[in-house]
Structure 1
Amino acid sequence: MTKVSIKQIAELSGVSVATVSRVINNNGRFSEATRKKVLQAIEETGYQTNYVAKSLRMQKSNTIGILVPDITNYFFARTVQHIEETLFEHGYSTIICNTDRSLEKEKAYLEMLKAKMIDGLIVISGIKEFDLVDYSSMNIPVVCIDRKPTGKASSVFIASNHYEGAYLATKHLLEKGVKSPVILMQNRESSSSSERLKGFKAGLKEAGMPFRTDTNLLVVDSRKNVLRVEEKTRQLFLKAFSKLETCDGIFSINDDLAILALDCLKELGIAVPDQVKLIGFDDTLLSRHTSPKLSSVAQDTLKLAETTCENLLSLIQNPSLAVSKQQLVPVHLVERETT
């Protein structure tokens, strides 16, 4: 099929090229009769807008890049889903990049997104703080979720109140009679895990209990999604839990770890919640189907997504108003059968 140009559409419609452009972009003044003539010509010829040329001309692609460390993770997947739906409603398409917690992969994706001329970037979590210098040449607004940005460029940092969530979980365990609580963590750093550890310590301090790494902290070596390396992680858990003779309550940094911990406790013959009480973080779908059902701290993924999109779209539409700010989204505790 011969490629049809906007000039040919204008000739067939009996209007100017500028008028055709206004109709296509639904921007500017034109009559209903003109709109119908242009749309009829477009339909008859099968004309399609050259979006690459349009992006170069207007310096706008109506595309948003999203960096996510693990798309199989329930929290990340739900947040990205809400973001995509919201942006689509505002006329934006999304390019979702699963970095697998790899800095090399992340840098490669940033280069690709730069070539795609994206209008904005959303960065969700990650293994370290997001250095704004790495993307500064893209000259676009950035919103970070659960990953603190560094550098001099303006940005928005949005996160669940992880400190509050961990504090609530710890306080809940203590109110249930736990005397020797343990926080269960993975050995990878993130702003969210750091805040959850602080919240756990705050809960202990309020109860007059000192935090000791030998009795209140259990770290497992699992740098990727624990569900992908379940058997290796399970063996680590079994070995570690067998040494926790005084532990009668566990706050897990996430539900995936909590669910594996629940299985290991059963294998060791430790009854939950009678001997050890257990609470997770994220309130995933699986937490409602374990036996016993897992207590957890719920994050509001919809609110996180809405807040993210609201800030990003505002920055795109008003780039001169760009500033650095931080917003926290409340969490709440969901009590089930493990506590």
Structure 2
Amino acid sequence: MDRKVTIQDIANMVNVSKSSVSRYLNNGYVSEENAKKIKEAIEKTGFETNFFAKRLKTKKSGLVGIVIPRIDSVTIGKVLTGINKKLMENDYQGIILISELDIEKELANINSLYQQGVDGIIINSMAITKKHIQLISRLSIPTIFTGQKNEFTNYIKIDDYEAGKILGSYFKSKGHKNIVFLGVNEWDIAVGVDRKNGFIDAVKKDNPDCNVQFVETDFSFTNAYSKASQILEYKPTAIVCATDNICLGVLRYLHENNIKVPEEISVAGFGGYDIGSVSYPTLTTVAFDYELIGIKAAQGILDLIEGKELEENKDTSLRLIERESVGGIN
């Protein structure tokens, strides 16, 4: 069997550097003279039958960049599962870069993926800032955001306001009027603003005696645990948490202090994490189909790469799961 021709072989044939051949294959700058020699060598050797030739002919790499804020997240894992499933079905591969909850690093990752020659970028963003909009407007490839939305970007996301309304209506039907919402900072528009506002609007509609206090935390179990004593100062009958993970920290504190759930305080969250079905008590939640969001995001970026219109963001993945952690008020 003949040995497979490599980039180094092409470089040796025409007496140029390996990096020059790589730049040519990635549509980078190469002198007109060298570009001609490289092209002739590729055609002569049959090098065009490999991955790079496909790129030369189609002007596509078969690669999609994926930017995520962190790797240690149940939701991100499910989104990535959906993205990978759809990309593989269409002979695409994903390149993942992690921003570590740093907006500037997120922007740098977007730019880095563009420089690497991906065909499009999916961004699971913490927030869409002016810098994001300025950056993607300069790119010659499509981008799509998940988790956040902005009128100047393509996006696929859960309807966080509607999710909040679902849980707000549920607590209203249970008769709760003194509630603490344990949420995150409003820089996260989806979770910190939309989810909270949806809940408050629904639980207080035609319910003037209802009072909702807000306590801020981050997304971690440990920080939620540390906020529980502050929450109890309000003497709530219910604690609603911005995510199920936040709920777990609260449940741990209540259990350690012999406060019964739901007999003394009801607790519920958002996400539908599997662990909520085995916690004690099992956790009432609004479940999101994160894998479906990943599939939709991947299909969206593939459509944009092909020059198609992005389908309207119709989301039907919200579902109230009523378990043991919420009781009614007589």
TM band (smaller chain): 0.7 to 0.9
Give the match for residue 267 of structure 1.
256
Partner AA of 2:115 in structure 1: A
Matched, 1:203 2:202: yes
Partner AA of 2:91 in structure 1: G
Report Cα offsets for 1:32-87 as digits up to 9, x if no partner.
xxxxxxxxxxxxx9x89553565356421110111111222111110111111111
Of all paired residues, the percent bearing the same amino acid is 24
Report Cα offsets for 1:247-283 as digits up to 9, x if no partner.
0012111011111011112233321101111111001
How many angstroms apart in 2 are the aligned matches of 1:4 and 1:128? 44
Distance 1:256 1:5, change over 3 A: closer
Partner AA of 1:196 in structure 2: R
How many angstroms apart in 2 are the aligned matches of 1:112 and 1:264? 43
Across the aligned residues of Structure 1 and Structure 2, the Cα RMSD in angstroms comes to 2.9
Give the match for residue 229 of structure 2.
239
SS in 2 for 1:183: strand
Partners of 1:120 and 1:140 within 8 A in 2: yes
Partners of 1:146 and 1:158 within 8 A in 2: yes
SS in 2 for 1:160: coil
Distance 1:238 1:183, change over 3 A: closer
How many angstroms apart in 1 are the aligned matches of 2:253 and 2:206? 28
Using structure 1 for the length normalisation, give the TM-score: 0.76
Partners of 2:65 and 2:96 within 8 A in 1: yes
Give the match for residue 303 of structure 1.
292
Give the match for residue 31 of structure 2.
none
Report Cα offsets for 1:180-214 as digits up to 9, x if no partner.
122110225223221111211211331423776xx
Partners of 1:299 and 1:330 within 8 A in 2: yes
Shift of 1:242: 3.3
**5 Å matches for 1:211-226?**
215-220=212-217, 222=218, 225-226=219-220
How many angstroms apart in 1 are the aligned matches of 2:220 and 2:61? 37
Partners of 1:304 and 1:329 within 8 A in 2: no
What are structure 1's unaligned runs of at least 5 residues?
A: 9-44
**5 Å matches for 1:37-186?**
51-52=51-52, 54-55=54-55, 58-129=58-129, 131-149=132-150, 151=152, 155-186=153-184
How many angstroms apart in 2 are the aligned matches of 1:48 and 1:234? 58
How many angstroms apart in 2 are the aligned matches of 1:184 and 1:49? 57
What are structure 2's unaligned runs of at least 5 residues?
A: 10-44
Report Cα offsets for 1:137-168 as digits up to 9, x if no partner.
331111211212364xxx42211121121111
SS in 2 for 1:204: helix
Distance 1:248 1:83, change over 3 A: same
Partner AA of 1:97 in structure 2: L
Shift of 1:324: 9.5
How many angstroms apart in 2 are the aligned matches of 1:207 and 1:129? 36
Give the match for residue 28 of structure 2.
none
Distance 1:299 1:323, change over 3 A: closer
How many angstroms apart in 2 are the aligned matches of 1:271 and 1:257? 18
Instruction: Say how many residue pairs are matched.
Output: 287
How many angstroms apart in 2 are the aligned matches of 1:243 and 1:303? 40
Distance 1:149 1:170, change over 3 A: closer
Distance 1:69 1:211, change over 3 A: farther
Shift of 1:302: 3.1
How many angstroms apart in 1 are the aligned matches of 2:194 and 2:209? 18
